């Protein structure tokens, strides 16, 4: 139950977004309307995640997605919730999702279709059946005027991460937490289940500059490039701890709050890394940098990378600035090879 002193400083994510937009004198309010579509979809997703086991949403659909992974029923529900909530906002031109080969063009052209949204509807979905935290990741881009008539819906989306207007994620964990940035710091909200709204819990979050914790699927270490292996040997000598959940959102969220580094290096199975640049690495990199952290692919900053395809993968080194630097030193600018 909420205490009366808490009521005095209640800020919902909606009012926070509107406040943030007031810092942009040219803002029309459309962007806040779009972000509220994302947060609404995430409330629908969270309601389904919370009821998993009670309603028939667990397990896979028998289909395989563009990544060659089994589509979980909740993946599909999350994907549909985002499509519907954003489809009605009126200002989204293109939507792209991890679950679909091709992007959806909602509005072909014109000044109304000003934004494009990319998302991973349910990250870590292979963990759902065993009640491990999962999440939703989103990235919002401007649809540039020169792309209004583009015949190819993918091309307008191939913007480097530094062009993102906003990015965020929701982690469906022991509580449901939403984290977002529009380039003016990182802000964190907790879903209050009694009132059904995301309430501000932490403003201007900063990542600790260091932290003796690394997060990686170390079972693949034998096929990591040498630089990463050297880092792991070094970290063990320095008495670092290992924490790995296997859901990027949950592993990143811990790293944001506690410090340390998350790694998904190139492996024998995934020579370009496993994680997707446009809707996993870029949004997390935007948040990390806004929180004074860093994100790199081992050679360059994640947000500097020029994407070449929608579902492009990338190696990822993300977390506290000092820890990322240390991995990069050992990788020697050659992605550890
Ligand atoms: P997903 O988006 O299909 O769920 O896959 C991405 C997930 C990330 O959440 C996580 O960091 C990674 O895959 C775990 O991979 P692995 O099982 O190889 O360690
Ligand atoms: Mg994912």
List pLDDT tens digits, range 315-326. Answer: 999 999 999 999
Residues 133 and 8 both lie in one domain: yes
Q: Which of 64, 72, 125, 126 to mutate to test the pocket of ligand 1 (most atoms within 8 A of CB)?
A: 126
Question: Does 335 have pLDDT greater than 70?
Answer: no
Give residue 157's pLDDT. 94
Q: Between 152 and 239, where is the model more confident?
A: 239
Q: Is 162 exposed, middle or buried (0-12, 13-18, 19+ CB in 10 A)?
A: middle
Atom in ligand 1 nearest the alpha carbon of residue 270 = 18
Question: Does 224 have pLDDT greater than 70?
Answer: yes
Give residue 144's pLDDT. 85
Highest mean pLDDT among 26-40, 44-58, 81-95, 121-135: 121-135
Q: Looking at residue 312, which CATH number applies to its domain?
A: 3.40.190.80
Ligand nearest to the CA of 247: 1
Q: Is residue 207 included in any domain, yes or no?
A: no
Atom in ligand 1 nearest the alpha carbon of residue 127 = 4
What does the alpha-carbon distance between residue 131 and residue 127 come to, in Å, rounded to a whole number? 7
Number of domains present in the structure of the chain: 2
Q: Residues lining ligand 1, CB < 6 A?
A: 69, 98, 120, 123-126, 217, 246-248, 274
Residues 116 and 158 both lie in one domain: yes
Q: Looking at residue 10, which CATH number applies to its domain?
A: 3.30.540.10
Residues 21 and 55 both lie in one domain: yes
Answer with the one of 202, 230, 261 that is the final residue of a domain.
202
Q: Which of 23-32, 161-170, 234-243, 298-307 has the lowest mean pLDDT?
A: 23-32
Written as one string, the DSSP assignment of 25-77 is TT--SHHHHHHHHHHHHHHHHHHHHHTBTTBS--SEEEEE-TTSPEEEHHHHH
Give 240's contacts (C-beta < 8 A, 6+ positions apart): 212, 213, 214, 260
Question: Does 214 have pLDDT greater than 90?
Answer: yes
Residue whose CA is closest, atom 11 of ligand 1? Answer: 248
pLDDT tens digits, 64-81: 777 677 767 888 889 999
Residues 196 and 233 both lie in one domain: no
Q: Is residue 337 included in any domain, yes or no?
A: no
pLDDT tens digits, 193-203: 888 889 999 99
Give residue 17's pLDDT. 85
> Quick one: pLDDT band at residue 87, thresholds 50, 70, 90?
confident
Give residue 98's pLDDT. 87
Residue whose CA is closest, atom 2 of ligand 1? Answer: 123
Give residue 113's pLDDT. 80
Residues 247 and 149 both lie in one domain: no
- The residue range of the domain holding 323 is 213-331
Atom in ligand 1 nearest the alpha carbon of residue 247 = 9
Atom in ligand 1 nearest the alpha carbon of residue 135 = 9
- Sign of the alpha-carbon torsion through 121, 24, 307, 110: positive
Q: Which of 29-38, 109-118, 296-305 has the lowest mean pLDDT?
A: 109-118
Residue whose CA is closest, atom 14 of ligand 1? Answer: 246
φ/ψ (deg, to 5) at 96 = -130, 140
Give residue 216's pLDDT. 98
Residues 66 and 142 both lie in one domain: yes
What does the alpha-carbon distance between residue 68 and residue 276 come to, in Å, rounded to a whole number? 13
**Closest by alpha carbon to 127, among 250, 219, 216?**
250
Average pLDDT over residues 17-25: 78
What distance in angstroms lies between residue 29's CA and the mean position of ligand 2's atoms?
Answer: 30
């Amino acid at each position: 139950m909420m205490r009366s002193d808490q009521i005095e400083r209640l800020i919902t994510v909606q009012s926070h977004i509107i406040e943030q937009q007031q810092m942009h004198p040219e803002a029309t309010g459309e962007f806040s309307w779009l972000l509220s579509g994302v947060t609404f979809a995430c409330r629908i997703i969270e309601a389904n995640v919370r009821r998993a086991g009670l309603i028939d949403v667990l397990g896979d659909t028998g289909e395989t997605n563009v990544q060659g992974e089994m589509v979980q029923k909740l993946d599909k529900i999350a994907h549909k919730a985002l499509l519907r909530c954003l489809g009605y906002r009126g200002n989204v031109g293109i939507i792209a999702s991890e679950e679909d080969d091709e992007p959806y063009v909602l509005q072909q052209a014109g000044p109304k279709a000003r934004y494009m949204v990319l998302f991973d509807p349910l990250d870590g979905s292979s963990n759902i059946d065993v009640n491990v935290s999962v999440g939703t990741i989103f990235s919002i881009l401007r649809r540039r005027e020169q792309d209004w008539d583009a015949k190819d819906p993918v091309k307008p989306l191939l913007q480097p991460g530094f062009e993102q207007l906003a990015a965020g994620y929701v982690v469906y964990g022991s509580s449901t937490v939403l984290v977002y940035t529009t380039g003016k710091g990182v802000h964190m909200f907790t879903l209050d289940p009694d009132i059904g709204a995301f309430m501000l819990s932490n403003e201007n979050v900063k990542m600790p500059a260091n932290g003796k914790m690394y997060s990686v699927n170390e079972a693949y270490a034998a096929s990591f490039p040498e630089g990463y292996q050297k880092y792991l040997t070094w970290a063990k000598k320095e008495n670092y701890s290992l924490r790995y959940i296997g859901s990027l959102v949950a592993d990143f969220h811990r790293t944001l709050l506690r410090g340390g580094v998350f790694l998904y290096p190139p492996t024998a199975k995934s020579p370009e890394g496993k994680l997707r640049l446009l809707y996993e690495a870029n949004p997390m990199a935007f948040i990390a940098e806004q929180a004074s952290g860093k994100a790199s692919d081992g050679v360059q900053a994640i947000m500097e990378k020029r994407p070449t395809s929608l579902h492009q993968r990338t190696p990822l080194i993300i977390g506290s600035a000092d820890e990322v630097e240390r991995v990069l030193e050992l990788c020697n600018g050659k992605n550890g090879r």
